[in-house]
Amino acid sequence: MPSMLDAVVVGAGPNGLTAAAELARRGFSVAVFEAKGTVGGGARTEELTLPGFRHDPCAAAHPLGIGSPAFQNLPLGRYGLEWLQSELPMAHPFLDGTAAVLSRSVAETAASFGPHDAGAYRRLVAPFVGKWDTLVRDFMSLPLTALPRDPVTLARFGLAGLPPASWLLRQRFRDDRARTLFTGLVAHVIAPLGGLATSAVGLVFALAAHEKGWPVARGGSQAISDALAAYLKDLGAAVHTDFEIKRLDDLPPARAYVFDTSPTALARIAGLGGFYDHYRYGASVFKIDYALDGPVPWTADAPRRATTVQVGADSREVGEALRIASRTDHAPDAPFLITVQPSLVDPSRAPEGKHVFWAYGHVPNGWDGDLTDAIERQLERFAPGFRDRVLARATAGPPELAARNANYIGGDIACGAASGLQLLLRPKLSLHPYRTPHPAIFLCSSATPPGPGVHGMSGHNAAKAVWRRLRAS
């Protein structure tokens, strides 16, 4: 290791690894320090239940990963990353045995919303279909990290996406099928539906399905992190695991320090005082990883063909579950569930004929109850006989999630509430969210734009701020 490194990255989540890779491929000397025994943060894979069952303790579905401009710029395929797609990207079953879907085809998606809303959906997404690569790059590079490539489409997207999702759903749709599916999409970032720009959240997920699909990574999400780490090592960067950073002095001398941590931890480690005291953390989840004796026995056909399945009876139930988790101190009786069934398309994840499956429901930050029964009651409504297929389960509520990853404060898996202005402008109202009051210290975690998800774009954007400074000094 040189005596003075160009950059040190704290935390080997997708954003930390991406920031390190972006710097190393530009010739800067880089070292990464990760508290846990393996790299990956929220993109890891482990045998959590029984031998041969490979679970993703955190992220499993990657609509934002496959469509990420940051990942597309890196040779991750050469380092073993392979995306696997199910026939349908996502399905949302109803109690009558039918389902709304997000299909690669806009027409099939629209048809699943019923005759009244099919046209409205087509009109909503039409201006953006076929423009994902420029739109997502422009949107995910806000604020001010790159000049928009297609400012007209970005402005149009801003107009469509800026209103609260609750307003968009009332204006656009007459029936509950589209409303329910779309409400669920917004819930992926645990954003209250009445919040500014929540329409954009739903639109991004829907467009991702049409343009790129919602794949899983072959072998599990660890494959994303391992590909990033292997590329980094080939570039000559060092990656240290089992190395928790508590103070800046724990790190070797460097010209820049890049933190893939919560703003709160960064302020504590780097002595930034109360700089991020205003930053709010949001609701958490209760997550269950299942080893199953067979596929989930969904009543509807569509969820049997989709790796991601949303579970919630109607838009009222989904919205209410989100409201209870975000605004009260108790858990919903009928939680809205996001579920992923990776072994539908990846037999390497479980012994022959068996399956891995994960489900989580939203709960308040810091909640320490057990949501297992409520989650399984909810699953049984849409997949009767589910419980009979369970061979083993591993549960994790807010305290366990927080222990797994220091970035999940109170179990907040988004590393900061995605509500109010904080949905878009995080961690501060600033044109330079990756910078801190210390000129050599930067933040690159999902507490910065574009926010939560395994896409590496916060790391990519932060790296730009870092190399501009390194080149200027």
Ligand X SMILES: Cc1cc2nc3c(=O)[nH]c(=O)nc-3n(C[C@H](O)[C@H](O)[C@H](O)COP(=O)(O)OP(=O)(O)OC[C@H]3O[C@@H](n4cnc5c(N)ncnc54)[C@H](O)[C@@H]3O)c2cc1C
Binding residues for ligand X, per CB under 6 A?
Answer: 10-16, 33-36, 41-43, 58-62, 64, 244-245, 260-261, 265, 285, 287, 360, 401, 405-407, 413, 445-446, 452-454, 458
Q: Residue 41: which region, alpha, beta or left (left: phi > 0; alpha: psi -120 to 50)?
A: left
- Alpha-carbon distance of 312 to 372, in angstroms, equals 16
Nearer Cβ to ligand X (111/230): 230
Query: Which of 168, 285 has the CB closer to ligand X?
Result: 285
Q: Looking at beta carbons only, is 139 or 360 nearer to ligand X?
A: 360
Q: Cβ closer to ligand X: 265 or 292? A: 265
Q: Let me know: does 192 contact 318? Beta carbons within 8 Å.
A: no
Residue the block writes with tokens 């990942």: 71
Rounded Cα gap, residues 43 and 225, in angstroms? 6
Closer residue to ligand X, CB minimum distance, 169 or 325: 325
| Least distance (Å) between residue 33 CB and ligand X | 5
Q: Which is nearer to ligand X, 13 or 427 (CB)?
A: 13
Cβ neighbour number for residue 158 with a 10 Å cutoff:
15
DSSP state, residue 417:
-
Give the Cα separation of 115 and 92 in Å (integer): 17
Nearest distance from residue 268's CB to ligand X, in Å?
Answer: 9
Least Å distance, CB 111 to ligand X, is: 26
Task: Tell me the C-alpha distance between 27 and 201, whole Å.
Answer: 35
Minimum CB separation from ligand X for residue 411, in Å?
8
Edge-to-edge strand ranges of the sheet holding 441-443 = 238-240, 30-33, 5-10, 254-259, 441-443
- Nearest distance from residue 150's CB to ligand X, in Å? 24
For ligand X, give the closer residue by CB, 176 or 211: 211
Structure tokens at 218: 């072959």
Structure tokens at 210: 């049409």
Question: In whole angstroms, how close is the CB of 35 to ligand X at the nearest point?
Answer: 3
Q: How does DSSP assign 364-433, residue by residue?
A: -TT--S--HHHHHHHHHHHSTTGGGGEEEEEEE-HHHHHHH-TTSGGG-TTSS---GGGGTS-SSS-S-T
Closest of 86, 113, 118, 129 to residue 181, by C-alpha: 113
Minimum distance between the CB of residue 148 and ligand X, rounded to whole angstroms?
A: 24
Q: Which is nearer to ligand X, 120 or 230 (CB)?
A: 230
Backbone angles phi, psi at 166, to 5 degrees: -60, -40
Minimum CB–partner distance for residue 60 and ligand X (Å): 5
Least distance to ligand X from the beta carbon of 48, Å?
A: 12
CA dist., res. 140 & res. 206, Å (int): 16
Q: Which residues contact 404 (CB under 8 A, 6 or more apart)?
A: 57, 58, 396
- At 76, the amino acid letter reads L
Closest CB to ligand X: residue number: 13
β-bridge mates for residue 361, sequence order: 286, 337
Closest to ligand X by CB, 110 or 239: 239
- Residue 442: in which H helix or E strand, if any? strand 441-443
Residue 343 beta carbon to ligand X: minimum distance, rounded to whole angstroms? 15
The three-state secondary structure class of 381 is: helix
Would you say 35 or 383 has its CB closer to ligand X? 35
